[in-house]
A and B are shown apart, each in its own frame.
Chain A
């Protein structure tokens, strides 16, 4: 079965600083990859998904971006963080059903 790694687990960043969250997948090849954000006590918001290397679909226009430099690596970035970027970021992989990583808790101060 698939295993999804995310790091860091927690992150506290000042407003205006850059961001890089990394997700790697084991146990599968050619997966679809996804970034979701979950605000406190809320549901999941799909941010980006990718069906292959270099292929990124953006679901919500904002100051975040995503890249997929390798088949099983998915990176979420920002040049300048906003307060509203705080949340729980989840990476997911799909070859049928979705498997989720453990998440990164981001706090922007």
Chain B
């Protein structure tokens, strides 16, 4: 079946530090992969996506590369800001386009 596993949080970093949030997946077929961000008290916003192997999604300084050989889609940012503090969710959409599978979320705290 389909599932997403992401690293446990919270992750606490100082401003301008390098960020990696690990995400691995299990899926049949050729899933599309997504990262969403949730700020306190709000819904989820799409951060970036990749639809096929070796694609790199990027947005607002965040990047993630679809690695089929390691079934991973790790989120990275070279220099985090306090405003990046939020919960980040990795997700996949499988061959059944109707359903999405979300990881449990990773809370990021960035300190000034």
Contacts and interface: CB of A to CB of B under 8 A. Distances in A.
Nearest to A98: B100
A42 B103 CA distance: 10
B92 to A, nearest CB: 11
Interface stretch (B40-48, B59-67, B73-81): B40-48
Contacts, number: 50
B98 A32 contact: yes
B99 to A, nearest CB: 7
A95 B44 CA distance: 16
Given A46-B100, A97-B93, 4 more contacts: A97-B34, A97-B49, A102-B43, A105-B41
Interface SS of chain A: helix, strand, loop or mixed? strand
Interface SS of chain B: helix, strand, loop or mixed? strand
Contact of B100 (A94, A101, A102): A94
Interface in A23-67: 32, 34, 41-44, 46, 49, 51, 57
B98 A90 contact: no
Interface of A: 4, 32, 34, 41-44, 46, 49, 51, 57, 90, 92, 94, 97-103, 105
Contacts of B99: 46, 49
A9 to B, nearest CB: 9
Contacts of A94: 97, 100
A49 B104 contact: no
Contacts of A43: 89, 102-105
